[in-house]
């Protein structure tokens, strides 16, 4: 490994309970002139804590330095390229943050009457209309709090419509290149998730779809572009097959950032889709929340969207609860409004032409990485990619190096690893999504790190088996950490 990847100053930070000393404090309360009082006279006994054993006593510099050092352990998109595939991590412009923190929004109480919340309701209404225009569908709900929550909501709407027809049906079809949340959402909605094997080109096998699509199938859920980074060019034919047997076509719009301004789901025959705002419209990912996964639908599914809906009449906005066929609320109040504000600010900032340019740059960046690394890493599915590219460890396996070793090697070289071992249909997959916000220099630096790993696999494979050695901790037992997480602090035990 070349020295350019070595860390300089590395902090070995103890937990805060191991610091400080009795009687040390970082706070001085001003003398108010009010006599001291016995707390026991005011607080009910049940509310009183008998002791606070083990709580650290620290000075202000100790507290600030502790949390500053911890913040420097954290790897985020503000620190460097975050090349996760299928879970886009890109820059969130700070103007979005400024908009979301305007007092007119942050000071709004969620129970204020509609007449006192016209600005926020207008933005929710307008953002819904903009999203419908982007995907070519008729109506939207902005309540869902994340992409998977949007999947659940969209499938509930499908279930409602089919129930109204007389039969909710029992199965949902999913290509094996779909996002992993799709089968979970289908199951959670009471459907049996049935997998369709992709063809050799990585796309939906229409013959297989034709064979499986029957009158028990409620929907086909398609991730487009799929998790191989490939556009499902058979989507119109797939829609015809699904519709001819009374089903709905659901599009997982998590990868919409590759299509925006270029192609619309509605024009492909899609009936319902969700959109991950953080992936396409640059809002914080949130590490699971708060986020937003709006759902857009065709007219037939509109009555089943969550209540209330924001409606406009003569320039005034109100929440409409009179929706007898609605699936009900899926989120409290107006959804995660702060995230919606950031998405609206992003759309207004870049405009229609900017959204299109973002898609073009995202696709260009992914194909640039694919072109630079194809001589060093095996490309399991040939051809151009859209927003993300997929390699695997076939070449490195000849030297005993696995995808996990490559990921750990990237940590030593200063990068967060990409998504590994997904999609499941690629053995030893490495899924990389650079996004549109990365410069050519950043992409080149990342590619050089990947090339260095490929060369190291040939000349010194054992060093990759030991990686990471420049991180704060070495290789962890990930299975143990996932199955038996221990996230409690000492005081909570």
Q: How many CA atoms lie within 13 A of 267 on its CB side?
A: 11
Q: What is the pLDDT of residue 492?
A: 56
Mode of pairing for the β-strands spanning 248-252 and 217-223: parallel
pLDDT of residue 217: 98
pLDDT of residue 490: 59
Predicted pLDDT at 54: 77
Helix (H, G, I), strand (E, B) or coil at 313: strand
- Phi and psi of 121, rounded to 5°? -65, -35
Residues facing residue 317 across a β-bridge:
312
Residue 148 has a pLDDT of 92
Question: Residue 218: in which H helix or E strand, if any?
Answer: strand 217-223
Predicted confidence at residue 249, as pLDDT, reads 98
With beta carbons less than 8 A apart as the criterion, state whether 297 and 271 touch: yes
CA pair distance 365, 262, nearest whole angstrom: 17
Distance separating alpha carbons of residues 431 and 420, to the nearest angstrom: 6
Contact 443, 368 (CB under 8 A): yes
Closest CA to 281 of 223, 354, 369, 335: 354
Contact by Cβ (8 Å): 451, 445: no
Phi, psi dihedrals of residue 419, rounded to the nearest 5°: -65, 135
So what's the pLDDT on residue 477?
Answer: 85
Q: pLDDT tens track of the chain, all 493 residues?
A: 555 665 666 677 888 888 889 889 988 888 889 888 888 888 888 888 777 777 889 999 999 999 988 888 888 888 899 998 877 888 999 999 999 999 999 999 989 999 999 999 999 999 999 999 999 999 999 999 999 999 999 999 999 999 999 999 999 999 998 888 999 999 999 999 999 999 888 899 999 999 999 999 999 999 999 999 999 999 999 999 999 999 999 999 999 999 999 999 999 999 999 999 988 998 887 655 688 999 999 999 999 999 999 999 999 999 999 999 999 999 999 999 999 999 999 999 999 999 999 999 999 999 999 999 999 999 999 888 999 999 999 999 999 999 999 999 999 999 999 999 999 999 999 999 999 999 999 999 999 999 999 999 999 999 999 999 988 888 888 888 889 888 776 555 5
What pLDDT score was predicted for residue 443? 97
Q: Taking phi first (over 0 means left), then psi (-120 to 50 degrees means alpha), and beta for anything else, what does residue 238 get?
A: alpha
pLDDT score for 75: 86
Residue partners of 132: CB distance under 8 A and separation at least 6: 138, 139, 140, 296
């Amino acid at each position: 490994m070349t020295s350019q990847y070595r860390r300089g100053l590395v902090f070995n930070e103890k937990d805060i309970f191991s610091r400080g000393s009795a009687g040390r404090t970082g706070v001085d309360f001003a003398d108010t002139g009010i006599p001291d009082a016995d707390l026991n006279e005011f607080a009910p006994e049940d509310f009183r804590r008998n002791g606070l054993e083990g709580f650290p006593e620290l000075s202000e510099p100790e507290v600030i330095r502790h949390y500053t050092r911890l913040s420097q352990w954290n790897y985020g998109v503000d620190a460097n390229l975050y090349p996760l595939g299928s879970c886009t991590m890109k820059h969130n412009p700070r103007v979005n943050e400024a908009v979301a923190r305007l007092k007119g929004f942050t000071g709004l109480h969620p129970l204020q009457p509609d007449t006192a919340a016209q600005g926020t309701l207008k933005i929710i209404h307008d953002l819904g209309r903009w999203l419908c225009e982007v995907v070519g569908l008729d109506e939207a709900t902005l309540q869902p709090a994340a992409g998977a929550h949007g999947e659940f909501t969209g499938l509930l709407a499908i279930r409602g419509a089919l129930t109204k027809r007389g039969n909710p049906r029992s199965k949902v079809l999913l290509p094996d290149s779909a996002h992993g949340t799709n089968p979970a959402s289908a199951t959670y909605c009471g459907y049996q998730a049935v997998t369709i094997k992709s063809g050799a080109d990585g796309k939906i096998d229409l013959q297989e779809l034709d064979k499986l699509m029957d009158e028990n199938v409620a929907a086909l859920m398609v991730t487009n572009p799929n998790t191989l980074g490939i556009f499902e060019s058979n989507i119109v034919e797939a829609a015809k097959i699904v519709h001819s047997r009374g089903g709905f076509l659901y599009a997982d719009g998590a990868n919409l950032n590759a299509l925006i301004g270029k192609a619309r789901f509605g024009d492909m025959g899609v009936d319902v889709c969700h959109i991950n705002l953080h992936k396409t419209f640059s809002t914080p990912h949130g590490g699971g929340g708060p986020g937003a996964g709006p759902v857009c639908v065709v007219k037939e599914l509109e009555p089943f969207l969550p209540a209330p809906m924001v409606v406009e009449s003569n320039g005034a906005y109100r929440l409409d609860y009179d929706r007898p066929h609605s699936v009900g609320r899926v989120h409290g109040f107006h959804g995660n409004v702060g995230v919606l504000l950031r998405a609206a600010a992003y759309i207004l900032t870049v405009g229609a032409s900017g959204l299109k340019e973002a898609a073009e740059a995202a696709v260009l960046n992914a194909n640039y990485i694919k072109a630079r690394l194809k001589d060093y890493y095996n490309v399991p599915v040939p051809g151009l990619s859209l927003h993300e590219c997929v390699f695997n460890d076939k070449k490195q396996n000849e030297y005993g190096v696995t995808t996990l070793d490559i990921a750990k090697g990237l940590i030593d070289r200063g990068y967060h690893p990409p998504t590994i071992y997904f999609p499941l249909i690629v053995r030893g997959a490495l899924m990389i999504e650079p996004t549109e916000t990365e410069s050519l220099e950043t992409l080149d630096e990342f590619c050089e790190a990947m090339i260095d790993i490929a060369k190291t696999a040939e000349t010194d494979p054992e060093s990759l088996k030991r990686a990471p050695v420049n991180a704060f901790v070495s290789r962890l037992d990930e299975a143990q950490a996932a199955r038996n997480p221990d996230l409690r602090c000492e005081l909570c035990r």
